[in-house]
Structure 1
Amino acid sequence: MTHPSGPGAAPPQSVESITKIAQDYEYNSSIPLRYWLRTAGTLVREADIYEREGRDEQVYLLLFRHAQLVLVNLSSHPDAKDDKTRKALVEAEKEVQQNLAKLEVLKPRINKRYERYSQLIKERQARKQPLPQQPIPEQRDGIPDPALAGVVEPLEAGKNRDLAVRLAQSEIHRRATVRRSKEPPRDVGDNKRVAGVWGDWEDALKTDSPSADRDLSRRIQHMRNNIDHTSTDHRHHAQDSFAARAALSSTAYKYPTVPRQKPLEPISTGRIAIHDKNAERQPPPILPPKEQVGEPSRASIVDGSLESSPPLPPSKVSPAPLVPQKVQPPDAATSARPALDPSSYTFKPSAYLENGTPLRSVFLPANLRSCFLSVASSNTRRNLETCAILCGTLVSNALFISRLLIPEQTSTPDTCETVNESAIFDYCDSEDLMVLGWIHTHPSQTCFMSSRDLHTHCGYQVMLPESVAIVCAPSKDPSWGVFRLTDPPGLKTVLNCTQSGLFHPHAQDNIYTGALRPGHVVEANGLEFETVDLRPASQR
């Protein structure tokens, strides 16, 4: 369990420090707007999951970054005037407008917890009491990770694979059940994480703190002024709608439960009227207790009527054999386990980008590669590349690959291009999935990232820093690898590359690196995933 339980947890952070981290990201206007819009959508999807798990600091970071990205950067993107992307940009701006109300609710809650913690520290220092040993928050360059604020003992992914698998399967199944039932997801209003003595958040919703971040308020006001498709009435309506939803926080989603089997009731031992040919007869004698039951009483049917012989004398009755204990089947035992609460666990970052940004753990099903190679086998025999998209979700500050999506594609011996990209993202949106990377084959080449692969992966890593590229070279040794772009210098080098050739060298070294442990990718046995093939029959 990693519930925060008091001052021993990683210290809370102020809104001011969180906003500084939120603004620290690379923006490049040369990346097509459609990729940035997908990035914005990913930020909101992550924030929704963190919100359900009660992780206020991380929700605030993601929503603030989303607001600044959309209103400050994307509104001036060169593609913003394009009719094809303008509609999607307007929708993203409307989503920001709705999320501004959430930021205003979260701000005093986060600041109050931070101020109570700071006051506690001051009081102890004044009394000259020794402070409890504080764990050092996961950080680089002195910047703590907001995802670990208030977490006492974050989990190491490599040492907790089995727990991660059970946690992911329980939560993914729960979300699928909610999605299928078309009922709203569980409201975490009554199940927020509690951060010890500074964990009282409810009163913070009523009044703002005197030391609230006024500079942040001005930034938000500036963002509001940049919205050219909304009005003041719409803002009030969005805030009122959010307040109405918050008022319903006491209504949690009710999950179906399996009723316990009702035990069989004892048989009545009174006189029973047995009707046979309209003649009432006496019931058979009462059976002795189980421990004294021997042979069954002798009975015979004469002329259609039941005649019972008297039971044997007690001296001739032998004890009945013990009934063997029922053995519970393995799946039934598994299904009987209580559902794990994702807010009770937090996985700490497994690695960091070269610039110090923490990378959340990515759990990869151990048998996913063999399944993909089986799907790609027909192309591999013809020396054609095959690619697929790695989709998944976020649980307890870790990413889990749970879907292998085979898109419509065109292939050559050296390249593989997806077709109908919108169908990929439409599918992911409908299934509430995040794009976590891609996998492709090198039928006759070695296991490496070509310049073409680097440019392809750049689009994935811009959307999500933890995105990975898996290369399978079944005829070579090593036969596979998991990679990511370095940052810096790899990501910026590829983003700024203007060479037009299909395959070309890059002057910069160290453009990509391995992502398997000691990187941020962890293979996990037993992690379930589905394979979905969107290709037409002619391509399979």
Structure 2
Amino acid sequence: MASNMIPTGGTAPQSVESITRIAQVYEYNSSVPLRYWLRTAATLLREADIYEREGHDEQAYFILFRHAQLVLVNLSKHPDTKKNEEDRKALIAAEKEVQKNLGKLEVLKPRINKRYERYTQLMRERDSRKQPLQATFTPEPRAVIPDPALSGVAEPLEAGENRDLAVRLAQSELNRRATARISKGSSGPSVEELESRRGAGVWGHWDTQLKPDSRTTDQDLSQRIQNIRSNIDNPLGQRAHTSDAFSMTSAYKYPSVPRQKPLEPTVSPAQIAILDKNVQRHAPPILPPKEHMEPSRAIIDDIAPSLPAKVLPAPALPNKVLPTDETSTTEANLNPSSYTFKPSAYLENGTPLRSIFLPGNLRSRFLSLAAPNTRANLETCGMLCGTLVSNALFISKVVIPEQTATSDTCETVNESAVFDYCDSEDLMTLGWIHTHPTQTCFMSSRDLHTHCGYQVMLPESIAIVCAPSKDPDWGVFRLTDPPGLKSVLNCTQTGLFHPHAEENIYTGALRPPGHVYEHAGLDFELVDLRP
């Protein structure tokens, strides 16, 4: 799957036609199980929701259209729909999500085109003011640098040069989102919402049967997405004789973005006008969890820790310092829509990768939890979960699923419980971590096949391998693309250890030259779902 992003930063804004063309360019392989593609679809929706909340209209439209195209054009023809009843029901639920999101596309489309038209008008006016070159010594007029707001994004920043800002931004936004979830009710999503999320790709068991005639919406939805594409390809208004792609949207109940009283703007009035007066929203941060003392390495090696609680809280944030005027101004600007972090690395095929921020003490705390298994020569695995903030990914939780293990393998059990938890916390799956109790730090063939499922879902996904008895004792990896991802996808060999023809099938992901940054100031939680 291609990257879930379009060019951002100082680039000029794009029209809906251009965004739509880019959104349809991705690699689809029907040999990948449908359940993996449905996970991908669910991840796309989660990303689109975050981009929409942050005011990044172009990215939100791009991902929502790609989701609709993936579900209605490709997944509707996937061979697994005829083999697995549960997958078929999940696809029906995903199609219903597309049906709801057509309303969002309808709202975003004129805003994007309006911004694009304003930009092109500004460029025309600038060009008309240029004076002809009169002599060779006449200095050329200085180029006009477009206001970042004109691109539909905020100030573009290098992630590596602004790590502290990125972490402060993420912590502030994570606290705000947690507060927002609490305000909706401590019980998390409603049963209906959770059911919908499961159907969009989080596989598990359905408590009730979907309506028998749900499949009858397939032709209607497919026709609607084709109409959308037809309208975009005919910007002059040449439409098919069938109804407009959005003509029936009033018949559906679309999700709405809650409006709150806007805070004092942190950008200029001109930027606010250009951005169509997007509301900047904040909520007060929640109190940090109680401190969890991290054992030293010696304790990890010599003493077996007691069984962890279900949720092991991250170390508490430093006590809040009464802000000076300068500090107050800085914290007031911690708004995700005010920044966007540039890609920090690229796949071998040129696809950009968003930065991932990894907590600096994540490995030591995971090894502490895994110590009893490690001494018994058993592997331990966990899922790296987090969220998207300002076009960067932040790992905020490690979820330990119920699992069975041997010296060379680790298999998850009751995956639906893991993803129910991730849904309730509004988390994205960003990769996984596991131990090699006695082996060296490398990606086995079994590891490569496991990670393939993660990287198909999200190109930035990473695999962390911890080999505490070896040197090096850890590594952060991803599959190369090409050739690694396609090689593993097409591999039909079985067995724990089997060779692959390609030598460079995986590579390091830590920066440099990868897209992963370690940062000691990023907090996270260990969540143990084992019985």
In 1, Cα distance between the equivalents of 2:388 and 2:107? 23
Please give the secondary structure, in 2, of the residue aligned with 1:160. Answer: helix
Q: Provide closer, same or farther for how the CA distance between residues 150 and 381 of structure 1 changes in structure 2, counting only shifts above 3 A.
A: same
- Name the CA distance, whole Å, in 2 between partners of 1:135 and 1:439: 42
Q: Would you say 1:377 and 2:365 are equivalent positions?
A: no
The AA in structure 1 aligned to 2:251 is H
Amino acid corresponding to residue 331 of structure 1 in structure 2: N
Instruction: Say whether residues 1:478 and 2:472 are aligned partners.
Output: yes
Q: Which structure is larger by alpha-carbon Rg, 1 or 2?
A: 1
The question of 1:59 aligning with 2:60 is answered yes
Q: Check if 1:433 corresponds to 2:427.
A: yes
- By how many angstroms is 1:49 displaced? 0.6
Residue 524, structure 1, aligned to residue 519, structure 2: yes
Aligned twin of 2:492: 498
Amino acid corresponding to residue 506 of structure 1 in structure 2: H
- Work out the CA distance in 2 between the residues paired with 1:396 and 1:180: 23
Deviations 1:10-69 (A, max 9, x none): 311111221122112111111111111111111111111111110011001100100001
1:425 CA drift (Å): 1.2
Amino acid at match of 2:74: N
Cα distance change of structure 1 residues 254 and 467 upon mapping to structure 2, 3 Å threshold: closer
2:232 aligned to which of 213, 226, 248: 213
Question: How far is the alpha carbon of 1:223 from its aligned partner?
Answer: 13
Deviations 1:453-476 (A, max 9, x none): 000000000111110000011111
Distance 2:469 2:384 in 1: 23
> Which TM-score applies when normalising by structure 1?
0.71
| 1:418 matches 2:412 | yes
Give the CA deviation at 1:133: 4.8
Quick one: which amino acid aligns to residue 476 of structure 2? V
SS of the residue corresponding to residue 389 of structure 1 reads strand
214-223 or 127-136, which moves further after superposition? 214-223
Asked if the contact 1:446/1:477 (under 8 Å) is kept, the reply is: yes
Report the AA paired with residue 31 of structure 1. Answer: V
What amino acid maps onto 1:494 in structure 2? V
Q: 1:332 aligns with which of 306, 316, 320?
A: 320
CA distance in 2, matches of 1:489, 1:169: 36
Indicate conservation of the 8 Å contact 1:156/1:350, yes or no: yes
The counterpart of 1:114, out of the listed 113, 116, 126, is 116
Checking the alignment, whether the CA contact within 8 Å between 1:365 and 1:526 is kept in structure 2 is yes
- Report the Cα distance in structure 2 between the residues aligned to 1:36 and 1:223, rounded to whole angstroms: 31
**Does 1:132 pair with 2:132?**
no
Q: Does structure 2 conserve the Cα–Cα contact (< 8 Å) formed by 1:445 and 1:476?
A: yes
Aligned partner (choices 388, 391, 394) of residue 397 of structure 1: 391
Contact 1:10/1:136 (8 A) holds in 2 = no
Given the alignment of the two structures, is residue 36 of structure 1 paired with residue 37 of structure 2, yes or no? yes
Deviations 1:333-384 (A, max 9, x none): 1799545211111111110111111111000000000000001100110111
- Distance in 2 separating the partners of 1:166 and 1:461: 27
Q: Which amino acid aligns with 1:332?
A: K
Alignment CA distance shift 1:136-1:17 (3 Å): farther
1:236 aligns with 2:250: yes
Deviation at 1:218, TM superposition (A): 11
State the alpha-carbon separation in 2 of the partners of residues 392 and 75 from structure 1: 29
- Residue of structure 1 equivalent to 2:87: 85
Q: Distance in 1 between matches of 2:243 and 2:85?
A: 23
Partner letter of residue 250 of structure 2? H
Is 1:10–1:151's contact at 8 Å kept on the other side of the alignment?
no
Aligned to 1:12: 13
**What are the superposed Cα offsets for residues 292-344 of structure 1, whole Å, 9 maximum, x if unpaired?**
xxxxxxxxxxxxxxxxxxxxxxxxxxxxxxxxxxxxx9613179954521111
Note the 1:273-352 alignment, pairs <5 A: 331-333=319-321, 338=331, 340-352=334-346
Is structure 2 residue 179 aligned with structure 1 residue 177? yes
Say whether the 8 Å CA contact 1:68–1:223 is kept in structure 2: no
Structure 1: distance between partners of 2:123 and 2:453: 45
Q: Matches of 1:36 and 1:331 in 2, distance apart? A: 44
Q: Which residue number in structure 2 is paired with residue 50 of structure 1?
A: 51
Change (3 A) 1:153 1:176: closer
> Within the alignment, does 1:162 sit opposite 2:164 as a pair?
yes
Quote the sequence identity (%): 72
- 8 Å CA contact retained: 1:72, 1:223: no
Q: Measure the CA separation in 2 of the matches of 1:509 and 1:437.
A: 23
Q: Deviation at 1:86?
A: 1.8
